[in-house]
């Protein structure tokens, strides 16, 4: 926001003094005070030594030359905070100086006022003041030639150019370089800000990805452990308890192995090949594990795979499909009523579709506690690939209800978000 102000506003804002609704003149910049004092003292020294620009050719008394000098010094106090006002006062003082004995210090301070008007003035000053100085110099030169009818009148034009054109164009050059430096600094700050935003977004996205992977890896195993441990505790049957403990051990070992694989992937330094991502070829094994874990709950699992031969989905798409099926089966283990859980996989040249349908009925509560992050993670996976996702209860043709999860993932090149 600060960079949107003009230089004039930037110069005035720090020094503005407010008294009710009346704005007082701003305090002059410290450097401007030093310039004004130096110019005034220098002019007084030259006057005391009798070094005038037009000795014997000005109005008497000779001390009248100190009036334009003092006024020009006052203009210097406004060179940064009120550059246009300072230039106007400087022009009047310079005109008045022509009727006195004159002072070199007045000339020198006038050139500085012209320079400051271009450097600190509004953007319009950069265009107008140099152009006006060139036109005025040409006019003064022509007028001097007409009046004096002497080629030496050109010297008058050169002197006027030194007083106006030179400082004006010097101010243009300095301001141009300063604007370029500020623009470069602003671009650098914006680049750093964008880089920080990209880094933050990348970290957030990576944390979300890790959370999804961690949840999908361990949720199924922990749910099976919770279900079978509950069964082992609630049924006083040694055979049932032994079977439950076997399932618990199997899921514990597999969950531990997958957790170690994920930790190894996160800590991988690049020296070893990362573990391959799961594919849809592992759906059969996933269903076998679900059958084992859901047998005690009265759940049956079926698979209908109608994928065409020779169609291989991109790795990110296949991984997302596998994780969606994995999480859907985990949710079925926790929430589904006894019955058949149907898994479908289909693919054509443009879309890979996966779905899970499970019995949906009134239950006193889930077989195992859940965090509610499963559906969120599935939606995120599908959104990252620009796919379509739906999950919720659906009424069947016979009037019953099932819980259906369905994801359509594009398999065309270039699909998905970076």
CA distance 100 to 63: 8
Q: Model confidence at 337, in pLDDT bands (50, 70, 90)? A: confident
Q: Tell me what pLDDT residue 110 has.
A: 92
**β-strand pairing of 299-305 with 351-359:** unpaired
pTM for the structure as a whole: 0.49
**SS3 of residue 405 by DSSP:** strand
Residue 66 has pLDDT above 70, yes or no: yes
CATH for 193-410 is 3.30.565.10
Using alpha carbons only, give the angle 58, 60, 64 rounded to the nearest 5 degrees. 85
Max Cα-Cα span within the chain: 129
**For residue 12, what are the contacts with CB-CB under 8 A and spacing of at least 6?**
26, 81, 82
Q: Which residues pair with 324 in a beta bridge?
A: none
- What percent of the chain is modeled with pLDDT above 70? 75
Instruction: Share the mean pLDDT of the chain.
Output: 80
Residue 2 is encoded by which pair of tokens? 């600060």
- Using CA atoms, how far apart are residues 370 and 376, in angstroms rounded to an integer? 12
Query: pLDDT, tens digit, for every residue of 239-291?
Result: 666 666 776 776 676 666 666 666 665 666 555 555 567 788 888 888 888 88
State the pLDDT confidence band at 147, using cuts at 50, 70 and 90: confident
Residues 6+ apart with CB under 8 A from 176: none
The tens digit of pLDDT for each residue in 94-111 reads 889 888 988 899 989 999
- pLDDT tens digits, 352-399: 999 999 988 765 555 555 555 678 888 888 988 899 999 988 888 777
- Give mean pLDDT, residues 208-216: 70
Instruction: Output the CA torsion 161→167→173→175 (10° steps).
Output: -140
Instruction: Identify whether the C-beta of residue 115 lies closer than 8 Å to the C-beta of residue 162.
Output: no
| In the chain, domain spans | 2-192, 193-410
Report the distance separating Cα 294 and Cα 300, nearest Å: 7
So what's the pLDDT on residue 75?
A: 92
């Amino acid at each position: 926001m600060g960079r949107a102000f003009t230089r004039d506003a930037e110069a005035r804002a720090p020094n503005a003094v407010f008294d009710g609704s009346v704005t007082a003149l701003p305090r002059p910049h410290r450097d401007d005070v030093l310039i004004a004092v130096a110019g005034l003292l220098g002019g007084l020294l030259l006057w005391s030594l009798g070094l005038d620009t037009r000795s014997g050719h000005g109005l008497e008394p000779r001390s009248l030359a100190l009036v334009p000098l003092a006024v020009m010094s006052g203009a210097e106090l406004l060179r940064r905070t009120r550059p246009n006002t300072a230039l106007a006062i400087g022009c009047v003082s310079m005109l008045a100086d022509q009727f006195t004995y004159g002072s070199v210090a007045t000339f020198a301070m006038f050139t500085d006022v012209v320079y400051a008007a271009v450097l600190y003035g509004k953007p319009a000053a950069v265009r107008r003041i140099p152009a006006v100085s060139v036109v005025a110099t040409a006019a003064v030169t022509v007028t001097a030639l007409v009046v004096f009818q002497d080629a030496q009148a050109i010297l008058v034009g050169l002197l006027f150019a030194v007083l106006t054109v030179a400082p004006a164009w010097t101010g243009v050059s300095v301001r141009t370089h300063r604007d370029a430096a500020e623009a470069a600094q602003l671009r650098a700050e914006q680049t750093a800000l964008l880089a920080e935003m990209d880094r933050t977004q990348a970290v957030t996205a990576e944390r979300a990805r890790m959370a999804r992977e961690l949840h999908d890896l361990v949720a199924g195993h922990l749910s099976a452990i919770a279900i079978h441990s509950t069964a082992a505790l609630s049924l006083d049957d040694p055979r049932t308890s032994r079977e439950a403990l076997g399932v618990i051990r199997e899921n514990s070992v597999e969950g531990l192995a997958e957790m170690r694989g994920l930790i190894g992937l996160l800590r991988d330094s690049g020296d070893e090949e990362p573990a391959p991502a799961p594919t849809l070829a592992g759906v059969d094994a996933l269903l076998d594990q679900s059958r084992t874990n859901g047998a005690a709950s009265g759940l049956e699992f079926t698979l209908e795979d109608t994928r065409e031969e020779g169609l291989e989905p991109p790795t990110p798409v296949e991984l997302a499909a596998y994780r969606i099926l994995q999480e859907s089966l985990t949710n079925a283990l926790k929430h589904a009523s006894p019955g058949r859980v149907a898994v479908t996989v289909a693919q054509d040249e443009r879309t890979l579709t996966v779905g899970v349908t499970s019995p949906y009925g009134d239950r006193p509560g889930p077989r195992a506690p859940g965090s509610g992050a499963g559906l969120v993670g599935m939606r995120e996976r599908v959104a990252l690939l620009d796919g379509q996702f739906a999950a919720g209860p659906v009424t069947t043709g016979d009037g019953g209800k099932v819980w259906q999860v369905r994801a359509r993932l594009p398999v065309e090149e270039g699909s998905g978000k970076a």
